Amino acid sequence: MRPLNKVITNKDTSFKPIWIMRQAGRYLPEFREIRKNNPDFINLCLNDNLSSEITLQPLKRFDIDAAIIFSDILMLPYGLGQKVKFEKNFGPKLDKLNLNDLTKIDEIDFVEKIYPVYKAIKKVSTDPILKNKNTIGFVGAPWTLLVYMINLKSPKKDLSKNFFQDEFLINRTLLVIENFLKVHIKNQIENGANVIQIFDSWAGLLELKDLPNYIYTPTLNLVEYVKSLNVPVICFPREIKDYKEFCEIVKPDAISIDYNVDPKKILNEIKIPIQGGLDPKVLLTNYENLKKETYKYLEIFKDHPYIFNLGHGILPETKPEMVANLIKLVKNN
C-alpha cells in the first residue's frame, strides 16, 4: 500500500509521510532552467514531456512520498475556452466570461484541449521512481474557480464589488464548473492519479451564510464523486472559518490545514486524517527554528493519522537545502 493510502485509508499513525505543496516549481534551480526557455506558463503545463519532467524533479532530489502533477487549477477555465494567461509579478489574467460559449463546450472538446495534462500524469505514474509512492492529481474547488472565472484575476484581499450581482451567471457557471471538474478528475484517475486533492484557495473570502451554496454543496458533490471512483480525496479549504463544520458536512477522506489555524484545536475537533499546517516561511529561517516547528507538528499529531505538509505552497525563495533538512527531520523522527 502506498504511503498516503496507509494514513488516509488505514489510519496508520506509526509513520508520517511527507510531500510539499508546489514541490515541483520555482525554488528548484532545475525548474528555473526549464522556465527560462518556456515563458508561457499555460504552454508549459500543456507540454507533457516537460511537465512530467518537472513533476519528477523533486523526487529525484528528495525522499518524498508523493508526486503532484505540475499543472494548474486554471487548466479548467482554459479547457472551457476562457482565455487564461499568467503575467509576471501579477499572476493570472482571464478574459471576460461568455456564458453562451461556456455552455456550448462538450466533454470531447474539453478533454482534447487539456489532454497533455493526462498524458503527463500517465508518464509520471508509470515512472519507476514512483514505485510504492503516490501520484496526486488535483483540481480547484468550484468556489475558487468561480472566483477566477468571474473576478478575472486573483482576488488577493477581496472580490470585485459587483461579483455577486449576476446571480444567473454565477449559478450557471457553478454548474458547468462542477460538471467539468468531474470530467477532469475522472481523466486524471484513469491516467494514474491515485489521490485527488481539491484546492479551495479562496474559501476564506466567504461569510458563513454563503458557505452552503458556494462551498459545502458543490464540494460535497465532488468529494462523493471521487469516492465513487475508489480514490482517496483530500480537501484544502484554505482559511475557511470552521474546519470542523467543513469536515462534518463535506466528509473528505483527509483535510489539509493552513498555517493560521491552531493545530491543537484541529486535533481536538477533527477525527479524520489531517495534512499540513507548517508555515512555509519557517523554511526561510534557520535549521534550529525549522527543527522546533517541525517537531511541534509531529508531536501534536503523533497519535493521529497525519501527512506532513505545509499550510500553503512552498515559497520561491526557499533554499533546496532547507527542504532536504525538513524531509530528514520528518523521516528520522
Is residue 4 helix, strand or coil? Answer: helix
Residue 244, number of CB atoms within 10 A of its CB: 15
CATH of the domain at 230: 3.20.20.210
Mean pLDDT score across all residues of the chain: 96
- Label each residue of 144-183 as H, E or C: HHHHHHHHCECCCCCCCCCCCCCHHHHHHHHHHHHHHHHH
- The grid coordinates of residue 3 equal 504511503
Average pLDDT for 79-88: 93
User: Residue 138 in contact with residue 195, Cβ under 8 Å?
Assistant: no
Q: pLDDT tier at 52 (50, 70, 90 boundaries)?
A: very high
DSSP string, 204-239: GGS-GGGHIIIIIHHHHHHHHHHHHTT--EEEEETT
CA distance 286 to 310: 16
Cell of 331: 523521516
Give residue-wise pLDDT tens across range 221-252.
Answer: 999 999 999 999 999 999 999 999 999 999 99
The Cα angle at residue 7 between residues 18 and 290, in degrees rounded to 5: 30
**Enclosing H/E stretch for 119:** helix 115-125
Q: Quote the CA–CA distance of 258 and 235 in Å, as a whole number.
A: 11
The tens digit of pLDDT for each residue in 260-311 reads 999 999 999 999 999 999 999 999 999 999 999 999 999 999 999 999 999 9
d(CA 154, CA 91): 7
Cα-based distances in Å from 44 to 17, 47, 51, 123: 29, 5, 7, 16
Is residue 157 very low, low, confident or very high in pLDDT (cuts 50, 70, 90)? low
Which of these ranges, 161-165, 203-207, 234-238, has the smallest mean pLDDT? 161-165
pLDDT band at 4; cut points 50, 70, 90? very high
Give the number of domains in the chain: 1
For residue 156, what pLDDT band results from cuts at 50, 70 and 90? confident
- The predicted structure's pLDDT at residue 326: 98
Strand-by-strand arrangement of the 66-68 sheet:
66-68, 134-140, 195-200, 233-237, 254-257, 274-276, 306-307
Res 48 pLDDT > 80: yes
* C-alpha–C-alpha distance, residues 23 and 68, integer Å: 8
pLDDT of residue 161: 82
Task: For 87, list phi and psi in degrees, rounded to 5.
Answer: -105, 135
- Grid cell of 255 as nine digits: 483535510
pLDDT at 316 over 70: yes
* 237/240 Cα distance (integer angstroms): 6
> What pairs with residue 233 in β-bridges?
196
Domain that holds residue 204: 3-331
Long-range contacts, stretch 266-273, CB < 8 angstroms, 24+ apart: 267/300, 267/301, 267/304, 269/243, 269/244, 270/243, 270/244, 272/247, 272/305, 273/7, 273/8, 273/11, 273/304, 273/305, 273/306, 273/307
